Chain A
Amino acid sequence: MSVPVTPTPGSAPGAPPGAAAPGGGAPGVSPGARPRLVSRARWEGVTTALRSPAVIALAPLTLIIAVFFLVPIFGMFTIAFAVQTDDGGTGIGLDNFLDLSSHSRAMRNSVLVSVVGSLIAAIAGAITAFCIAQIKSERLDSVVAVFSSVLANDGGAPLAFSFIVTLGNTGIIFGLLGLEAIGFTLYSWQGLVAMYQYFLIPTMIMVTLPTFVGLRKEWIEANISLGGSRLTFWWRVGIPIATPALLGGWILLFGSAFATYASAAVLIGSGGFPLIPLSIDSLLGSGLGAGGQSTAMALGVTMVVIAVVVLFFFNRLQRRSARWLQ
Chain B
Amino acid sequence: MASVNWRYSNWLPIIAVALYVTVPVLCSIYYAVFPGGRFSLAAYSVITDDASLAAAATRTLLIAGLTIVTLVATLVPAVLAVHLWAPRLRPVLEILCTLPLVVPPIALAAGVVALLRWGAQQGRGSLASEISQFIQHPDLPLILVGTYVVLCLPFTFRSIDAGLRTIPLKAMVEGSSSLGSSVWGTVWRVVIPNIRGPVLFSVFFATAVCLGEFAIAATLNRETIPVWLFTVSNTNFRASIAIAVLLNLSTWILLLVATLSAGRFSALGKAKRKAAALDEATTLEKEAH
Contact = CB atoms under 8 A, between A and B. Distances in A.
Interface of A: 1, 18, 21-22, 52-54, 56-58, 60-62, 64-65, 67-69, 71-76, 79, 124, 127-128, 131-132, 134-135, 144, 146-147, 149-151, 153-154, 156-159, 161-163, 165-167, 171-173, 197-198, 201-202, 205, 258-259, 261-262, 265-266, 277, 280-281, 284-285, 293, 296-297, 299-301, 303-304, 307-308, 311
Given A75-B111, A156-B214, A296-B110, A18 B85 contact: yes
Interface stretch (B42-50, B53-61, B252-260): B252-260
A128 B259 contact: no
A277 B100 contact: no
Given A57-B78, A60-B73, A75-B115, A300 B150 contact: no
A307 B241 contact: no
Contact of B111 (A259, A266, A277, A300): A300
A62 B153 CA distance: 12
Interface string B221-239: 0000011011001000000
Contact of A198 (B20, B81, B110): B20
Contacts of B27: 162, 165-166, 171-173
Interface in B106-146: 106-115, 117-118, 143, 146
16 contacts: A22-B86, A54-B86, A57-B78, A60-B74, A69-B103, A131-B14, A150-B256, A151-B21, A157-B226, A158-B247, A158-B248, A161-B244, A172-B30, A262-B226, A280-B107, A307-B103
Contacts, number: 250
- Of A73, A163, A166, most B-chain CB atoms within 10 Å: A73
Nearest to B131: A67
Contacts of A67: 146
Interface of B: 10-14, 16-17, 20-21, 23-25, 27-28, 30-31, 70, 73-75, 77-78, 80-82, 84-86, 88-89, 93, 96-97, 99-115, 117-118, 143, 146-147, 149-150, 153, 183, 208, 212-215, 218-219, 226-227, 229-230, 233, 240-241, 244-245, 247-248, 251-252, 255-256, 259-260, 263
Given A132-B14, A157-B214, A161-B28, A73 B103 contact: yes
Given A60-B74, A154-B252, A157-B244, 11 more contacts: A58-B78, A72-B114, A74-B111, A150-B256, A156-B226, A157-B214, A158-B212, A173-B23, A262-B212, A300-B107, A303-B106
B214 A304 contact: no
Nearest to A258: B104
A177 to B, nearest CB: 11
